[in-house]
Structure 1
């Protein structure tokens, strides 16, 4: 919602100020379709040329995320802490039972309680692989911590490809605007014998290209790239909660302390309170 409000404010203030200053929208509207075709087409073409299909699809999903917001909500953080509490308790009390859950999470009664988390296959696979290593006595805390850090770093970097691609597009747009403007000047020079009022309109149309390139770069694509990065960085905190629980567990801390360490590392806006997590865990015990 903030992104939509920001775009609306930008458009109203820029073009509203131009109109109030006595500018004529007719020149811009006449040139806009052609300039947009040149600048937007070149930007999209360069984007497709410079990225693989996976990055292109990820960028499309990133643009949707800008308007939907981060994937993981406050309730998801609470659910993850409850899930990790159940898994850590199983690893301590009944490693054999835990193995059946991590080998087939889709049919696990533990994972099925949290369908949104279960739908994230990469994340569930990371949880299961790490706990499988723990069951195999791969219990060197620093090795597990380093392994998790590397895997989470790779996941985060992959999720930032869309942001990088959008930022590269934003960096190129001003130069593409100049290209469109130069073409407009070439067209104007070919009509140098026309009356001054005609030449003035043609030069104004050429300058629309420069305006459009800078406007799109710094008022639309650049802010979108920054917002995508913010969203993906915030989602990275969600994955780090799992790391905090497991590493703390390997230090032989009590399960509830492991959950509390992870809870405190959650972003402030999504962090469930201590009582909320405690009540959720009590509800799980009563249901069991």
Structure 2
């Protein structure tokens, strides 16, 4: 919702200010379809040229994050802590029983209590692979933490590609606007014998290209890239929380301490209250019993 409001403010303030200052939209509207076809078409072509189809699909999908915001909400962080608590408790009480949950998370009774987490392939694999490693006696906390760090860094780098792709397009739009404007000037020079009032309109139409390139770059595409980056960075905290809790588990801290380590490493605006988390963990214990 806030993304739509931001776009509306941009258009109202730019074009509203132009009209209020006495500007006429007729010249812009007449030139807009042609300038937009040149600049927008060239931008799309350059985007396709510099990315493979997988990256294109990824970027198109990530544009929705501008309007949806972060995937993980405060209640998801609480549910993640509860899920990890259940798994850690079970792994310590019955190392054999934990295998069915980490080998087949899709059929796990524990994971199924948290459907949003269960539906996220990256989160589930991160949890399952780390706990499986611990069950295979690969339990050096420092080595596991290093492996998790590299894995998460690779996933984050891949996720950020859409933001980088959008930013590259934004960086090129002003130059494409100049290209369109130069073509407009060339067209005008070919009609140099026309009266001044006609030449003035033709030059004004040519300058729409420069305006459009800069406007799209700094008013829309650039902010889209920044928002996508911010959302990806925000969602990455969810996976960092998994690392913090599972590494604390490998240090043989009690289950409650592991969860508290995770809670305190949760971003402040998503961090569950200590009392609320305690209530949630009590409910987990009752269900397990």
Q: TM-score scaled to structure 1, two decimals? A: 0.98
Map of 1:281 onto structure 2: 281
Map of 1:61 onto structure 2: 61
C-alpha distance in 2 between matches for 1:221 and 1:36: 14
C-alpha distance in 1 between matches for 2:85 and 2:122: 20
Map of 1:262 onto structure 2: 262
How far residue 122 of structure 1 moved from its aligned partner, in angstroms, is 2.2
After TM superposition, where is structure 1 displaced by more than 3 Å over at least 4 residues in a row?
A: none
Q: How does 1:136-285 map to 2 (within 5 A)?
A: 136-285=136-285
Deviation by residue 1:46-102 (Cα, 9 ceiling, x = unmatched): 111111112111111111111011111111111100110011111211110011110
Map of 2:36 onto structure 1: 36
Deviation by residue 1:236-259 (Cα, 9 ceiling, x = unmatched): 000011100011111111111111
Map of 1:2 onto structure 2: 2
C-alpha distance in 2 between matches for 1:218 and 1:172: 11
Q: Does 1:98 align with 2:94?
A: no
C-alpha distance in 1 between matches for 2:268 and 2:219: 29
For 1:270, what is the secondary structure of its paired residue? coil
Map of 2:87 onto structure 1: 87
For 1:96, what is the secondary structure of its paired residue? coil
C-alpha distance in 2 between matches for 1:275 and 1:232: 29
For 1:169, what is the secondary structure of its paired residue? helix
Q: How does 1:116-135 map to 2 (within 5 A)?
A: 116-135=116-135
What do you get for the CA RMSD once the two structures are aligned?
A: 0.8
How far residue 285 of structure 1 moved from its aligned partner, in angstroms, is 1.0
Deviation by residue 1:119-145 (Cα, 9 ceiling, x = unmatched): 111221121111110000001111000
How far residue 155 of structure 1 moved from its aligned partner, in angstroms, is 1.1
C-alpha distance in 1 between matches for 2:190 and 2:56: 39
C-alpha distance in 1 between matches for 2:76 and 2:276: 12
C-alpha distance in 2 between matches for 1:123 and 1:54: 21
Aligned residue pairs total 288
Q: TM-score scaled to structure 2, two decimals? A: 0.98
For 2:137, what is the secondary structure of its paired residue? coil
How far residue 7 of structure 1 moved from its aligned partner, in angstroms, is 1.1
Map of 2:21 onto structure 1: 21
Which piece of structure 1 moves more, 176-185 or 4-13? 4-13
C-alpha distance in 2 between matches for 1:120 and 1:53: 23
Gaps of 5+ in 1: none
C-alpha distance in 2 between matches for 1:264 and 1:155: 24
